[in-house]
């Protein structure tokens, strides 16, 4: 793997797909997300997939930002090293703090996530891995940011929007059982703000269908 001369203490996260390093861009704090090699994949295919996912993630981050959805600004893309340099968001994963939030603030945050998810879908952007792990929360500003679009796509298929909402609901059910109902209600209220009544109904029907499918087969 390419070395960026980073010390271990610059490591923010090591995941299955990518490592994230603290970096800088013209003096601004930045994050470098580098897609790592998967040893079980043949080299040419592996490089192709990493390059493709890097480009797609950057394009989706940029498109979302242009539509007013809070995402880190993309500073640079290096497709030959499978990396994206982006704005550093001084926040915590929503997943780690949901339970500690006052109810009103929790509802406000989930409303916003729902609203911005609706805006994404209205603009044919699907996140692909919409969970509370992929939303950062900056407490001082009470602001949220969507990250990790690496599994996303530009698509207007109802199924893809349904999968986003389904995954989000599932992440609430598995990680935040005590607030699932309230949080999902707030999310849907926000989602309704961004999309027509008819579309919301179609998406929710699709979510039901996906969930009933899931009851017979495991995803």
Q: Which residues are catalytic?
A: 129
Instruction: Say whether residue 148 binds Mg ion (CB under 5 A).
Output: yes
The angle subtended at Cα 153 by Cα 149 and Cα 159, nearest 5°, is: 115
- Among 54, 83, 134, 171, interactor with Mg ion by CB under 5 A: 134
Give the interface segment with Mg ion, choosing from 4-12, 36-44, 74-82, 148-156 (CB under 5 A): 148-156
Instruction: Say whether residue 87 binds Mg ion (CB under 5 A).
Output: no
**83 strand-pairing partners:** 34, 78
**Straight-line distance from the first to the last Cα atom of the chain, in angstroms, rounded to the nearest whole number:** 32
Comparing CA positions, the residue from 86, 88, 101, 87 lying closest to residue 132 is 101
Instruction: Say whether residue 33 binds ligand ADP (CB under 6 A).
Output: yes
Give the interface segment with ligand ADP, choosing from 36-44, 80-88, 152-160, 172-180 (CB under 6 A): 80-88
Q: CB of residue 78 vs Mg ion: minimum separation in angstroms? A: 20
Task: Using the minimum distance from each CB to Mg ion, give the nearer residue, 135 or 200.
Answer: 135
- Among 51, 81, 93, 185, interactor with ligand ADP by CB under 6 A: 93
- Among 120, 147, 172, 207, interactor with ligand ADP by CB under 6 A: 147
Q: DSSP character for 177?
A: T
Could you please report the per-residue DSSP string of 23-78? EEETTEEEEEEEEPP-TTS-HHHHHHHHHHHHHHHHHHHHHHHHTT---PPEEEEE
> Could you tell which of Mg ion, ligand ADP, none binds residue 31, using a CB distance below 5 to 8 A set by kind?
ligand ADP
Whole-angstrom CA distances from 117 to 72, 77, 163 are 16, 25, 12
Binding site for ligand ADP (CB under 6 A): 12-13, 15, 17-18, 20, 31, 33, 72, 86-89, 93, 133-134, 147-148, 150
């Amino acid at each position: 793997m390419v070395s960026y001369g980073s010390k271990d203490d610059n490591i923010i996260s090591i995941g299955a797909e990518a490592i994230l390093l603290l970096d800088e861009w013209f003096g601004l704090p930045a994050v470098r997300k580098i897609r790592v090699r998967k040893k079980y994949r043949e080299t040419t295919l592996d490089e192709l997939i990493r390059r493709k996912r890097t480009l797609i993630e950057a394009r989706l981050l940029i498109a979302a930002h242009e539509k007013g959805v809070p995402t880190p600004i993309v500073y640079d893309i290096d497709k030959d090293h499978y990396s994206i340099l982006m704005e550093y968001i001084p926040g915590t994963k929503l997943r780690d703090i949901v339970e500690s939030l006052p109810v009103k603030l929790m509802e406000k945050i989930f409303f916003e996530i729902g609203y911005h998810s609706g805006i994404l879908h209205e603009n044919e952007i699907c996140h692909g891995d919409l969970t509370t792990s992929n939303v950062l929360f900056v407490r001082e500003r009470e602001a949220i940011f969507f990250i990790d679009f690496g599994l996303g796509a530009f698509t207007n298929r109802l199924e893809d929007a349904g999968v986003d909402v389904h995954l989000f609901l599932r992440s609430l059910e598995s990680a935040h059982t005590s607030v699932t109902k309230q949080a999902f209600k707030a999310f849907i209220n926000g989602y309704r703000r961004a999309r027509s009544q008819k579309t919301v109904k179609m998406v929710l029907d699709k979510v039901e269908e996906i969930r009933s499918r899931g009851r017979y087969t495991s995803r």
